[in-house]
Amino acid sequence: MKNLGILLAIVVAGVVAYKWAYPSVSVRYRMTTVAELDGKQSSGSNVMEVTYYKNVRLLGASADMQIGIRGEATSIDFGSRRLLAVLLARGEHSRSDPENIIPFAYGLTKGGIGPEYFPRIAELSGQRELPRELFPAVVFFRDSLDPTSVELVNPPAPAGRSTAVPQLVSITLEIIDTKTWTSGLPFVHIFTAEPTIRSIDQALPWLRDNSARLRFWKTLIAERYQPSGSTEIYTLFKMEQ
C-alpha cells in the first residue's frame, strides 16, 4: 500500500510538472448568426470550443503552439430545403477562422498569438458583434440535399452575380461558462436535456459521402472560394479534435 501511495504521488507530480511546462487554455463560445431572405430574418446558433496548447518540441516540431477545435458549422434553415451555413473557415479576413477569431475579435491581438496570451484568453468574457470584415466563410444551399446547389455568400460574390441569396445581418460571439454545457456534440442544455442545435449531419445528410463532398467542393471552388492551404472538406462543417 505504501509503494502504491508513492507511485501515485510520482504520477501526480509528473502530471503537475507537465502542465506547468506545457500549459493549455480553452475558450468556449456561442456564435449566433442572423440573416435575411425574402424579407424575413432568421437566426441560428452553435457552440465552439477552441483549446490552445503549448507545443512539445519533439521530432523536429517547430511551432510554439497547437490548436484543437470542437464544434460544427452554424446553420439557418429557411424552409423548402434552403439552408445557410457558416463554415469553420475564414472569410475575407485572415483571422476570421475558428483558431484566431476569438483573440482577434476580443482585441487581444492584431496578429497571431502564442502561449504568452494564455492567461488573457482564460479571462475573456462577454459578447462581441463581429464587424463585417471578420465574418467567416458563409455558404447557401438552395437545396440542402444537393451539394452542388451551393452558392458563396461570404466573401461577397463579384459584381453582377445573383443577389437572390440570404443577406447577412449580424454575427455575434459570446463567451460562455463551460459549466453551462455538457460534453458532446451537439451540445445539450442541462435543464431540458434537449439539443440546442440541429446537427449539421442532419441538416446536410450528404456530408458523410465522400463523392458528394467532392462535388460540393468543386462547385464551391467554381464559386471563386479561395481556401487557405490544403483543406479536409468535412472539417469545413465539423471538427471534433
β pairing state of 74-79 and 82-86: antiparallel
pLDDT value at residue 109: 78
The full set of domain ranges for the chain reads 23-240
From first to last of the 241 residues of the chain, give the pLDDT tens digit: 555 554 444 433 333 333 444 467 999 999 999 999 999 999 999 999 999 988 765 555 455 778 899 999 999 999 999 999 999 999 999 899 998 999 999 988 777 788 888 889 888 999 999 999 999 999 999 999 999 999 999 987 665 555 688 999 999 999 997 655 444 344 444 344 444 445 899 999 999 999 999 999 999 999 889 887 667 999 999 998 6
Task: Report d(CA 68, CA 74) in Å as an integer.
Answer: 18
pLDDT value at residue 32: 96
Task: Report d(CA 113, CA 65) in Å as an integer.
Answer: 9
Decide: 71 and 186 in contact? Cβ < 8 Å. Answer: no
Q: Is 150 exposed, middle or buried (0-12, 13-18, 19+ CB in 10 A)?
A: buried
Task: Report d(CA 87, CA 206) in Å as an integer.
Answer: 16
- Which helix or strand (DSSP H or E) is residue 30 part of? strand 24-37
- In sequence order, the 6+-apart residues with CB closer than 8 A to the CB of 223 are 150, 151, 152, 157
Query: pTM here?
Result: 0.80
Decide: 116 and 206 in contact? Cβ < 8 Å. Answer: no
Q: How many helices (H) and strands (E) does the chain have?
A: 5, 10
pLDDT value at residue 30: 94
Task: Report d(CA 19, CA 54) in Å as an integer.
Answer: 10
Decide: 113 and 52 in contact? Cβ < 8 Å. Answer: yes
